Chains A and B, each alone.
Chain A
Amino acid sequence: MSELDAFRTEVREWLEANCPPEMREPIRDEDDVCWGGRKWVFKNDAQKAWLEACVAKGYTVPDWPKAYGGAGLTPEQTKILKQEMKRIKARSPLDSFGIWMLGPALLQFGTEEQKVHYLNQIARGEIRWCQGYSEPGSGSDLVSLQTFGEDKGDHWVVNGSKIWTSYADKADWIFCLVRTDKANKYQGITFMLFDMESPGVTTKPILLISGNSPFCETFFDDVKVPKTQFIGEINRGWDVAKYLLGHEREMISGGGAGGDMVSIGGAFAKSFGKNAAGELDDPILRAEMAAFDVDVFAYRAMGERFMDMWKTGRAHPASSNMMKYVGTELNKRRHELVMSGGGSDALEWDSEESKGGARARSWLRTKANSIEGGTSEVMLNVIAKRILDLPGA
C-alpha cells in the first residue's frame, strides 16, 4: 500500500469515528453552516462536536502548518481528505472568511507573531472575520477608497464607511482597507485589523432583492486602531489587497464559480415529465438545458485543467479572471433555467412547499456572482490587458 493509500485509510477511519451522523445530512437551514466566532450559538451538540474534533486534528485548515492550527497536510493529502469528506457527505466543520481570505494573506504577509496569534484563532473558529473593502463610492474602482486613518502616534483614528461587508453584524473582527496617505493613490492604503466591538463601529444590514441581508453597510466614527494591527507595511496595503483578490478569484475558479456542476436537464426530467420518446416534454427548454449542460461539462474540464496548471505554475497569472468570468456567468444562466423549469412553483416566495422561496431567492442571489469579487466587465478588462495585451486597456 502506498503512503497515500495508507493516509486515505487513516482518514476514512477517523471520519467514521468522529463525524456525527447529523453532520452528514444535507444543509437545510442557514444555521446548519457553522461560522464560529464569539457570538456563535451551536445549533446542536453534533455541530459542536464535529467542529471540536476537526480543530483538535487540524482539519478545519488541513493544509496550514501545525504551528498555526492546521494539520500540515500536503496538497495530495488535502485532496484525499476532501474526497473522503465528500464521499460520506460530511458538512464543512467551519466556514470562515478567516480561512478563505485573511488566512492566506497572513501566511503571505504576516509576521511570525501575527501568524501564531491570528491563524490559530481562525483555525479554532474563535473569531469570525468580515472584510472591509468596497465603499459606497468605490466599487469596481476600489483603489479610490476614502475611509481615512489619521496618524495619532501609537494609533490611527479611522473615519468612513464600508459597504457589502458580508455578515458584518455577526462578525467579531474586520480586515479593512484604510487610506493612510491621501497624496498616494496606490501606495497610501494600509491593511488594518480591528475589533468590531471597538467604540465607533456600527453596522446596518442591507436588504437585498432576494429578501435576505447577508451584507451590511459598516460605519466608522473615530475608531481607534493600535498601530500594531496591520498586515504588510504601512501604506502598502494595496499589495495585500491585490494578493487577496487574486486568491479569492483563484478559489472561486477552483471551486464555486460554476455553481452546481451537474446536468440540469437530468435534474428536471423527473418533475417535468417526458414524451413518448423519453425526451423532456418541452422541446425548446430541453434544447436550452442541453446547450447549457454542454457548457457545464466543458467548464468542469476547464476547472480541472486550470487547477492542474495553476498548481504547477503553468497557468497565466491572470487566468483566474477568465475562470471567474466564465463560471459566474454560467451559474447565473443555470438559475435562469431552474426558474423556467420550475414554472409558477418556482415563483413562490415563502410557502413551505417552496422551502421559503429557495429557488427564487437563490436565482436572485446569483445575480451578484458577476458583481462581487470583481465584476464581469472588470474581468474582461483584465483579460484584455494582461492576457491579450490589447492597447490602452
Chain B
Amino acid sequence: MSFLVVNGLEKRFGSVEVLKGIDISVPRGGFLVLVGPSGCGKSTLLNTIAGLETVTAGEILIDGVRVNELHPSKRDIAMVFQSYALYPNMNVAKNMSFGMEMRGVPKAERQQVVARVASMLQIEDLLERKPSQLSGGQRQRVAMGRALVRDPKIFLFDEPLSNLDAKLRVEMRTEIQKLHQRLGTTIVYVTHDQIEAMTLATVIAVLKDGVLQQVGTPAEIYNTPANIFVADFMGSPSMNLVPARLDRANGVLVVSLKRADGSTTVLPLHRPSAAAEAFVGRDVILGLRPESIDDAPAAAPDDGAQRHPLEAHVEVTQPTGADTLAMIRLGGREAVARLRAETGARAGERCTFMVDMSKAVLFDPETEQRL
C-alpha cells in the first residue's frame, strides 16, 4: 500500500515546463530521495508535495487522500529547508513551537512537546538562544526539531545538509538515518549529492530536465542504471562508458574494444539480456564501474566475479588512502580503475588489470537506454 503517490504530475511556470509527468509512489515508512543535477526540477517537485507550489496537472495523494487543493499547513507535513529557514526574531523554543501556536495548541502542551523533541535532539541548552547565536550544525538540529514537533505524516527535506562542512555532513547524515529508523516516518529528501542518495534512500528517483529517469532501490540504480545519464550521475568516480562493438564469438556474446595501436581487446559478456541479442554486429556503449577494473592478485576470493585480463596504459594514479584510482586508456577513452592501495601500477607503465564482466552493462549509443 503506497503512502505517498505522485501521479502524472506536471508543472509549468509560464511557458517553461519544469516537471513533465512524474509518477512515483512510496510505501509507508519509506525514504524517498529525489536526486539530480541543479535545475532538474527536484526542488519544485518537493515544493508541490509540500503545497508551496501549485501543480499544473496530475495529482498528489498522501495516505490515500488527494491533497492538491490543501494548504501546506493542512497536509500534515513538516519541512526542513536548505537554509534551515529559522525565524531570526524568535528563539529556538519559539521557532519550534510557532507551528503549534498557529494551530492553537495550548501552551502547556507546546512546552511539553518542545522539551521532548529538544531532549531527543540534545538541544535542550539551546532553547533560549536566537538562531544567529547558533553554529551551522546547531541550526540544522533546530530545523529538524521544528519538523519533529509536528509529528507529521511525511517529512520533507530540501538539501538539508548542503550548507554544512564535509565532516558535519557525514555526522548529520547518520543522525537522519537513525531518526528515520527510530520514528519510521515517511521521508522525501532532495539532494544533488549522490552519496547522500545512496546511503539514505530506500527508494531513489533520478530526475533530469523535469523527466523522471529511473526509480528504484539504491542497488538497482547503481548496478542497473536505466540509461547513460543515470549511470554517469550516480557513483563517484562515475561509471566508465566506453564505445565498443557487440559480436558473437564461439556462441557467446563478446564486446570488442579498440586499442590505440589498432588491435582489439575482446571481453565476453555474462548473462546478456534479450535486448542485447538484437545489437550483435553493432556499436554499443559498455558501462563498467571503476571497481570492476582492478589489479586483484591472481588468487582472488570466490565472489561470483567473472574476471578477465586486460592490458592498458596507466596515465596517472591517484592514491585516496583506502584505495588507488588509476586513469587508464580503454577503447580510446580515458577510464578509471579502482585498485588496491598497495598497487604496483605506476603512471606511464603498461599493466594488466582484471575486468569483472559480471557487473558490466550495455547501452544503446543512440537512445542512451540500457540494453
**Are A and B physically bound partners?**
no
